[in-house]
Amino acid sequence: MINKKGFLFTISVIFFASTLIFFTQGVYDSNVLMEKRIISSQNPLNIVQLNEDLAFDLSNLFGLSFDANSIEEGVLIDGRIFSSSSEINSLNDWNNFLFNNYFKRSFYNKSIDLSGLVDGKSEFFLGKNLNFDYNYGNSISLFSSKSPLIESIDLNIKSSGSLVSYEWVNLTGESDFDVSIIYYNDYNRISIIDSIDNNSYSYLRLVYSDGEELIEFGGVNYLGIDYNSAFVLNTINDKVIEYKLKVDYVDACLYPIKINSILSVSSDKFDSNSFIKLFK
């Protein structure tokens, strides 16, 4: 009788242990499946977050910030122009950091194409209407082949060096929009308020002992192409300039703001290639 009880006890223990093992395995399999579903559901979110992080780094690297207002159809660009060699070196260092460190710490296969930025110029596309170019250490420009009409321009410039003289030339036949310019450095301050035409050429020439800065408005020839409703700031090579540029447009779509750089992210379930975006 004792042996029978011992046999039944042994069978019960084996049955309970087997049940516990199967239950544990089931819970583990369920957790693994849930984790896979969570990771899969977060794929788009992870890509968006990665895109935003890279865009933030790039804009800081170029000393740029954008604030585009879709309601008022205007954009505020806060930036600086400085040494071209330091910018390219910083871009290369950042690229090496991404491939050797940052990309290896997270999921998926990732790469970024910076060929559109390492040629000495960074390009930003504001919605369907505008292009913003930054030629490293040399100039900035805001233009469009679709020529949305400018409603107003406000420009603040802070520059190093002593200003020798300046010249404001308005070749406008008609007055389409108001322009306000404030220039200052340690020695000088200039304030200009005028009305100019989207299609006519107007400019401010700033003369220093080591060269000239030329700021162009309206009908501008940029890189051999004529643009209306354009803005170009040409400075002395590698001269440090800080600027705030606010431009309001008539009927202009300024979202999203894209950087001419492609982010590629892939796994066995998805493949994504998109411009780096500052705003979505």
Q: Which pTM does this prediction carry?
A: 0.79
Instruction: Tell me the sheet residues that pair with 4.
Output: none
Q: What is the pLDDT of residue 31?
A: 46
pLDDT per residue over 18-35, tens digit each?
555 554 555 444 444 444
- The Cα 31–Cα 192 span in angstroms is 67
Question: Does the pLDDT of residue 174 top 70, yes or no?
Answer: yes
Reduced DSSP (H G I as helix, E B as strand, rest coil) percent helix, strand, coil of the chain, to 5: 30, 45, 25
Q: What is the pLDDT of residue 39?
A: 41
pLDDT per residue over 39-67, tens digit each?
444 455 477 888 888 998 998 888 889 88
Cα-Cα-Cα-Cα dihedral sign, residues 24, 30, 33, 36: negative
Closest residue by Cα to residue 232 from 117, 134, 165:
134
Q: What is the pLDDT of residue 72?
A: 63
pLDDT per residue over 181-238, tens digit each?
999 988 889 999 999 999 999 999 999 988 999 999 999 999 899 999 999 999 887 7
Find out whether 236 and 211 touch, Cβ atoms under 8 Å. yes
